[in-house]
Amino acid sequence: MTGQVLYAQLLYGGSGILLVLLGLWSFLVHGPLLRKLIAINLMGAGVFHILVAIGYRGIDTPPDPVPHALVLTGIVVAVSATALALAFGKRLDQDDD
């Protein structure tokens, strides 16, 4: 594995870890439901980003398809979880009124 590939993997993987931390911080600190949801989605994006960085094999080598398949399922599960959480939030608001 050449230095160029390792550099790209570390750069993108490191930014993925930073995204996870940023999302975790926002999730812990901020109150409203919508902000917490955005924070969780950001954490998920960070995890996907790490997986994509692990699958990267250089600009002209075919990448590893296994983490890509995991991320593809993860994206769809994330959106369905978001929709469910928003429906819960709406129901809670209705019960408050």
Instruction: Restricting to residues 56-95, name those near another protein by CB under 8 A.
Output: 56-57, 59, 62-66, 68-73, 75-84, 86-91, 93-94
Q: Is residue 46 within 8 Å of residue 24, measured between CB atoms?
A: no
* Residue 43 C-beta: closest distance to another protein, Å: 10
* Residue 86 C-beta: closest distance to another protein, Å: 5
Q: Which of 97, 80, 96 is nearest to 37 (CA)?
A: 80
Positive or negative CA dihedral for 60, 64, 69, 75?
negative
Q: Which two tokens stand for residue 53?
A: 């960085």
**Residue 9 makes contact with another protein by CB under 8 A:** yes
Q: How many whole angstroms separate alpha carbon 43 and alpha carbon 82?
A: 13
* Residue 51 C-beta: closest distance to another protein, Å: 9
Pick out residues in 27-46 that bind another protein (CB under 8 A): 28-32, 34-35, 37-39, 41-42, 45
**Residue 53 makes contact with another protein by CB under 8 A:** yes
